[in-house]
C-alpha cells in the first residue's frame, strides 16, 4: 500500500515506521504544504497526519486519514468530501486525556494555592507571606461543572473524587437555560467541548455574566468557544476568580493580543495534551490502527464527519 506520512517526526520515529511497514511504500512529506496537493500524497490510500483540508478534494485514492490531533474542526469544510469518497477518518481523541486533565488540575491548584501570584512575586523578589493566606483555598467540597462528557472530563472526575467535590455535566443536548442555571452555582467550570457550529461562542456575554466572582473558568476545548474580549473585561474587574485557557482564538498569540496582559489568567499555549513520549506514542497508535485497518478490524477513534467527533 502507499502511505503518506504528514507528521513532523524525528529520525528515530521515522525508523519505527520504516521497520514496521517494510512491505509498503512510504512517502514522508516535507511539511511545507502548498495549496496544490503533493504528488506523493495523490498516490496514497493511507495518510497519517494533518494535511491541508483542501487536499482531500484533490485525491481519488485516499481511503483512510489518521489525524494526529484530537479535534476535527479544521476539516469541517470538507466533511462532505469524506462522505462522498467513503474516506475513513480517525483522530487521537482520548489520547491526550490524562495530560489535559492534569493541566486542568495544575490550573485549579495554582489559583487555589496562589502559585500564579508566587511566580510573579519571585520575579519581583517580593515577600508577602501571611497576608496572602486568607486568599488561598482548597479544592474540597467545591461545586464543579463540566462542559462535555468526553475522556478529559471523565478523567478529571476521577481525580476529584477524593476531594468530595460535587459535579455535573453539560453536554451538547443540554438546554442553554439549564446550562446557565448550572454555571451560576459552579465554583469551577471546565469546558472540553469540541469545536462545532453548536458550541461556537457558547461562552458569550450572557454565559460569562452568569459566572460568580468565585468561579474559575477553564477552556481546554476550542478557542472559538469563548468571547475572549468580554472574558478579559471580567477578569480585569475581578468578576471571576480566574481563568485557564489552553486554547485561544488566535494561536500563536501575537505580542499585541490583550490576553497576554490580562490578570488572573493562566495561558498554557495549547500544550495541554503534551508530554515527553507523545510523538512515539502517536506513531505507535497509528501503527496499531494500521494493523486493524489492514485486517479489516474496526479502527480506533473513528469520526463521524457530520457530527465532527
Q: What are the distances in angstroms from CA 63 to CA 70, 73, 83, 251? A: 20, 20, 11, 31
| Residue 223 interacts with a copy of itself (CB under 8 A): yes or no | no
| Residue 91 interacts with a copy of itself (CB under 8 A): yes or no | no
Handedness of CA 227, 228, 231, 237 (dihedral sign): negative
| Residue 32 interacts with a copy of itself (CB under 8 A): yes or no | no
| Residue 271 interacts with a copy of itself (CB under 8 A): yes or no | yes
CA dist 119 and 91 (Å) reads: 36
| Residue 141 interacts with a copy of itself (CB under 8 A): yes or no | no
Binding residues among 233-252 for a copy of itself as defined by CB under 8 A? 251-252
| 118 or 167: CB nearest a copy of itself | 118
| 141 or 171: CB nearest a copy of itself | 141
| 261 or 291: CB nearest a copy of itself | 261
CA dist 146 and 273 (Å) reads: 18
One residue of 15, 57, 122, 292 binding a copy of itself per CB under 8 A: 122
Binding mask 158-177 for a copy of itself (x = CB under 8 A): xx-xxx--------------
| 195 or 273: CB nearest a copy of itself | 273
| Residue 70 interacts with a copy of itself (CB under 8 A): yes or no | no
| 91 or 264: CB nearest a copy of itself | 264
| Residue 139 interacts with a copy of itself (CB under 8 A): yes or no | yes
| Residue 134 interacts with a copy of itself (CB under 8 A): yes or no | yes
Strands 143-147, 265-267: parallel, antiparallel or unpaired by DSSP?
unpaired
- CB 58 to a copy of itself: min, Å: 27
Size, binding site for a copy of itself by CB under 8 A: 60
| 79 or 282: CB nearest a copy of itself | 282
One residue of 16, 105, 287, 300 binding a copy of itself per CB under 8 A: 105
| 274 or 302: CB nearest a copy of itself | 274
Binding positions for a copy of itself, rule: CB under 8 A = 98-99, 102-103, 105-107, 109-110, 112-116, 118-123, 125, 127-130, 132-140, 158-159, 161-163, 251-253, 255, 257, 260-261, 265-276, 278-279
Amino acid at each position: 500500500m502507499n502511505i503518506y506520512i504528514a507528521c513532523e517526526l524525528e529520525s528515530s520515529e521515522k525508523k519505527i515506521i520504516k521497520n514496521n511497514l517494510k512491505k509498503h511504500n512510504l512517502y514522508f512529506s516535507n511539511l511545507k504544504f502548498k495549496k496544490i496537493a503533493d504528488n506523493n500524497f495523490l498516490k496514497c490510500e493511507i495518510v497519517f497526519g494533518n494535511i491541508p483540508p483542501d487536499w482531500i478534494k484533490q485525491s481519488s485514492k485516499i481511503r483512510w486519514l489518521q489525524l494526529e490531533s484530537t479535534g476535527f474542526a479544521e476539516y469541517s469544510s470538507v466533511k462532505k468530501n469524506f462522505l462522498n469518497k467513503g474516506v475513513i477518518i480517525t483522530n487521537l481523541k482520548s489520547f491526550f486525556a490524562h495530560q489535559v486533565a492534569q493541566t486542568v488540575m495544575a490550573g485549579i491548584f495554582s489559583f487555589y494555592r496562589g502559585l500564579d501570584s508566587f511566580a510573579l512575586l519571585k520575579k519581583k523578589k517580593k515577600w508577602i507571606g501571611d497576608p496572602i493566606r486568607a486568599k488561598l483555598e482548597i479544592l474540597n467540597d467545591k461545586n464543579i461543572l463540566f462542559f462535555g462528557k468526553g475522556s478529559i472530563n471523565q478523567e478529571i472526575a476521577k481525580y476529584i473524587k477524593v476531594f468530595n467535590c460535587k459535579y455535573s455535566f453539560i453536554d451538547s443536548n443540554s438546554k442553554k437555560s439549564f446550562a446557565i442555571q448550572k454555571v451560576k452555582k459552579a465554583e469551577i467550570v471546565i469546558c472540553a467541548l469540541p469545536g462545532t457550529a453548536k458550541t461556537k461562542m457558547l461562552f458569550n456575554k450572557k454565559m460569562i455574566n452568569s459566572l460568580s466572582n468565585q468561579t474559575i473558568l477553564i477552556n481546554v476545548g476550542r478557542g472559538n468557544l469563548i468571547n475572549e474580549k468580554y472574558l478579559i473585561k471580567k477578569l480585569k474587574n475581578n468578576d471571576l476568580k480566574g481563568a485557564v485557557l489552553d486554547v485561544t482564538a488566535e494561536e500563536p498569540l501575537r505580542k499585541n493580543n490583550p490576553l497576554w496582559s490580562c490578570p488572573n489568567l493562566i495561558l498554557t499555549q495549547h500544550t495541554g495534551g503534551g508530554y515527553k513520549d507523545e510523538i512515539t506514542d502517536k506513531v505507535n497508535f497509528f501503527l496499531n490502527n494500521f494493523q486493524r485497518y489492514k485486517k479489516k478490524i474496526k479502527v480506533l477513534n473513528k469520526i463521524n464527519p457530520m457530527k465532527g467527533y
